Amino acid sequence: MKLVGNWNYPTPIRFGAGRIVEIADACAAAGIKKPLLVSDKGLANLDITTKTLDLLEQAGLGRAMFSEVDPNPNELNAEAGIKQYREGGHDGVIAFGGGSALDLGKVIAFMAGQTRPIWDFEDIGDWWTRADADAIAPIVAVPTTAGTGSEVGRASIITNSVTHEKKIIFHPKILPSVVICDPELSVGMPPFITAGTGMDAFAHCLEAFCSPHYHPMSQGIALEGMRLVKENLPKAYKDGSDIEARAHMMSAAAMGSTAFQKGLGAIHALSHPIGAVHNTHHGTTNAVVMQPVLQFNRPAVEDRLEMAANYLGISGGFDGFYAYVGELNAELGIPKNLTELGVENPDLDKLTKSALQDPSTGGNPIEMTYENTLDLLKSCF
Ligand SMILES: [Fe+2]
């Protein structure tokens, strides 16, 4: 396959099918001699994980793994992982998996050398400067899904197990030192996870593209990211072994995360509290609320989305783009609304207030108030 490359933007990425064989070399490049591989419960016994541990062991790097990671990882998962990391005398983390494992792996590498509690490093103002940066361990990231893009991000989403709020933990040094993007690792993803994670990548690109902040580089990346999803997500969904479609989706995921430095918006502002309280799949939730949010933002994004529609080969400007999202969701078997997604007895008042506190709210092109956000949320059921 020709889809191979070595990229240094935004961090060194070894891209291409089969490149997981470079895992020991990637650890060496990151300065890691005794890694802890952080994965999740679902991945722990899969072939791709066992083979990766084999590669590490053959290279004399041990085969230590921590996999007690919940789908929405919380501070208790982090504490358990940090304990294992310290007791094992590790000197770096391989974050291996989907968004949950990548986010938790990054946090373990971050927190293993800190003395303050994790919530002191929430992404607020310059709180990240409270950290002892020299004590942050190096990270090699290996995504096995194509959605979160956390492998190229400087933040982790951790759920507070007491308050059920999702918090963004940020530090520039938790950007992984080396990334291996091997699309073969994503071949085993079942269709509904392919769909949900793929729509997360699309939501990152779409929200970054619509955010009013000035960041032309992100704008371009977001646009091409949407095109890659449009061309490849239906193919990867229908035929999970289509390695080219898987490769392009893995690129789109990294691009979405790179682009959303420009900001996210109401899709994520709604999706975060719904996921935290009702344990819904993050990307699938984004897909469900996407059309209502487009309608909500219409006055501010109509012209911009007409440009995107032209580039994506969608006719009809904003209306065409809106209709396309509905068709894509239907093609991917995404539930039609939050009720169908399984959100029962929602506390609309609480969800609205949490949405307004979510950092993504600041990137939405229309100002979100209690009244309009409550109406928006109601329209998602
Ligand atoms: Fe997301």
- The per-residue pLDDT for range 179-193, each reduced to its tens digit, is 999 999 999 999 999
What's the 273 CA to ligand 1 centre distance in angstroms? 12
According to DSSP, the residues that pair with 95 across neighbouring strands are 38, 141
3-state helix, strand, coil in the chain (%, to 5): 60, 10, 30
- At residue 42, the 3 state secondary structure works out as coil
User: Stretch 46-61: mean pLDDT, rounded?
Assistant: 98
For 138, the 3-state DSSP assignment is coil
CATH 1.20.1090.10 placement within the chain: 191-379
Ligand 1: centre distance to CA 34 (Å): 31
Q: Which residues pair with 7 in a beta bridge?
A: 13
| pLDDT over threshold 90, residue 5 | no
**Most distant CA atoms of the chain, gap in Å:** 59
Is the pLDDT score of 126 beyond 80?
yes
Centroid of ligand 1 to alpha carbon of 345 (angstroms): 24
C-alpha 370 – ligand 1 centre gap (Å): 22
pLDDT digits (tens, 9 = 90+) for 7-49: 778 999 999 999 999 999 999 999 999 999 999 999 999 999 9
> What pLDDT score does 204 carry?
98
- For 13-186, CATH number out of 3.40.50.1970, 3.40.50.460, 3.40.50.1370, 3.40.250.10 equals 3.40.50.1970
Compute the distance from residue 282 Cα to the ligand 1 centre, in Å: 7
CA of 275 from ligand 1 middle (Å) equals: 11
Q: Which of 16, 68, 26 is nearest to 43 (CA)?
A: 68
What value, to the nearest 5°, has the Cα angle with vertex 193 and ends 139 and 152? 25
Mean pLDDT of 371-376: 98
Q: How far apart are CA 135 and CA 129, in angstroms?
A: 13
pTM reported for the whole predicted model: 0.95
CATH of region 191-379: 1.20.1090.10
**Separation between Cα atoms, residue 149 and residue 330, nearest integer Å:** 24
Q: Kindly give the distance from the C-alpha atom of residue 204 to the centroid of ligand 1, in angstroms, as a whole number.
A: 6
Distance from C-alpha of 296 to C-alpha of 294, rounded to nearest angstrom: 5
Q: Mean pLDDT across the stretch 241-265?
A: 96
Mean pLDDT of the chain: 96
- Tell me: pLDDT of 54 over 80: yes
Give 269 Cα–ligand 1 centroid separation in angstroms: 10
